[in-house]
Amino acid sequence: MNILVCIKQVPDTKIIKVNPKTNTLDRSSAPAILNPYDAHAVEEAVRLKKIHGGKVVVLSMGPPQAKEAIKKCVEIGADEGYLISDRRFAGADTLATSYALYKAIQKLMDEDGIDLVLCGKHAIDGDTGQVGPGIARRMEIPPLTNVIKVEEVDPAEKMIKVRRKIENGYEIIQSTLPCLLTVEKEINEVAYSPLPNMLRAARYNPIVWTVDDLKDVDMKQLGLKGSPTIVGKMWPPAKSDGAQMLDDEGDVKKQAEKIVSLVLEKRELFEAKGGER
Ligand SMILES: Cc1cc2nc3c(=O)[nH]c(=O)nc-3n(C[C@H](O)[C@H](O)[C@H](O)COP(=O)(O)OP(=O)(O)OC[C@H]3O[C@@H](n4cnc5c(N)ncnc54)[C@H](O)[C@@H]3O)c2cc1C
């Protein structure tokens, strides 16, 4: 069973700062990491490979530094990693990103065949969750989003059953293979990498393709030219004010009483203003 995982290198959003003048992310303020959801997708692919055989290939679009994220996937257990990197991909929105990744996937399918495509639920920087379903639409395969468990796979019968998270609970759905899954963090725990994987990753050199390595590319659909969306405005959320420190050190009962009285006080104020904040 050949599994392809799309992975993205992202800035660590726990650390990244927003430039107060431009209101854009200051990417130099945070280290680049493998998108955490993608790490879970690779872990799941490796788990399925151990049961059903085949291989795990990862694919990323990004600058040359994104090789580091691919090497991290090799550490988790991926067999091969491809990076599509070219100035002509730059400035892509999600539509152009899914097109470029699809063109690389087509080439990989021609070479080896792909039974399953995995993506993260979303990238922690762009946060749209559109790239996975975008790829599935272009490949004309079913997208199964927000997957928290692979219940059953039968590669011979070309069948997969997964558990999805939905608004009020869960659902189990079955699909034909190939299909595309976007995965939640609950799907697995990313295990510590064994030493042989770490050694292989340290020496591993991902395969880099440019636009010229891909077949039948419509240049109008790439990069900035192929991106119809425009970011009109960006701003950080307003800082909440009125926060208070509770000073009754360690006395939980007193702290709880204080919180209740503060909430009641705020409600009275809110009602006195006729429900306006
Ligand atoms: C309106 C708009 C304009 C933008 N303009 C620019 C711009 O000018 N320049 C720029 O650099 N960026 C731009 N971006 C950001 C860029 O579109 C996204 O970084 C990219 O398309 C991925 O979208 P996302 O981060 O929301 O991924 P999501 O859809 O949230 O990611 C879901 C999953 O898709 C896969 N995935 C996503 N991106 C990649 C990738 N690159 N390689 C492999 N797998 C991937 C991963 O599995 C990931 O977990 C723009 C985004 C928007 C919405």
- Per DSSP (E only), the strands in the chain are 3-6, 9-11, 17-18, 25-26, 32-34, 56-61, 80-84, 116-120, 143-154, 159-166, 169-176, 179-183, 207-209
Q: Tell me which residue of 178, 186, 50, 196 sits closest to 121, measured CA to CA.
A: 186
Span 153-169, mean pLDDT? 96
Instruction: Find the 94 Cα to ligand 1 centroid distance in Å.
Output: 5
Give nearest CA residue, ligand 1 atom 3: 93
From CA 75, how far away is CA 67, in angstroms rounded?
12
Residue 188: is its pLDDT beyond 90?
yes
How is 124-151 classified by DSSP, letter by letter? TTT----HHHHHHHHHT--EEEEEEEEE
183 lines ligand 1 (CB under 6 A): no
Ligand 1, closest atom to CA 122? 30
Would you state the pLDDT for residue 16?
77
Pocket test for ligand 1, best of 8, 10, 70, 84 (most atoms within 8 A of CB): 8
Whole-number pLDDT of residue 142: 98
Give the C-alpha separation, 44 to 50, whole Å: 10
**Minimum-distance ligand 1 atom for the alpha carbon of 93:** 17
pLDDT of residue 61: 98
Query: 128: Cβ below 6 Å to ligand 1?
Result: yes
Residue 243 pLDDT: 75
Average pLDDT of the residues in 122-129: 93
Is residue 266 very low, low, confident or very high in pLDDT (cuts 50, 70, 90)? confident
pLDDT confidence tier of residue 200, bands split at 50, 70 and 90? very high
- The average pLDDT across 112-130 equals 95
Tokens of 9: 């290198």
> Domain 3-226 classified CATH 3.40.50.620?
yes
Averaged pLDDT score across all residues of the chain: 92
Beta bridge partners of 182: 119
From 60, 73, 93, 208, mutation site for ligand 1 pocket: most ligand atoms within 8 A of C-beta = 93
Q: Which residue's alpha carbon is nearest to atom 16 within ligand 1?
A: 93
pLDDT of 223-254, one tens digit each?
999 999 987 777 777 777 777 777 767 788 88
Higher-scoring residue by pLDDT: 100, 271: 100
CA of 53 to the centre of ligand 1 (A): 31
Confidence band, pLDDT 50/70/90 cuts, at residue 276: low
* Rounded-to-10 torsion of CA 212, 134, 143, 187: 90
What confidence tens digit (pLDDT) does each residue in 77-99 have?
999 999 999 999 999 999 999 99
Question: Which pLDDT band holds residue 180 (cuts at 50, 70, 90)?
Answer: very high
Residue 97 Cβ < 6 Å to ligand 1: yes
If pLDDT is split at 50, 70 and 90, which confidence band does 269 have? Answer: confident
Does 6 score more than 80 pLDDT? yes
Q: Read off the pLDDT of residues 19-47 as tens digits, 9 standing for 90 and up.
A: 777 666 777 778 999 999 999 999 999 99
Between 248 and 103, whose confidence is greater?
A: 103
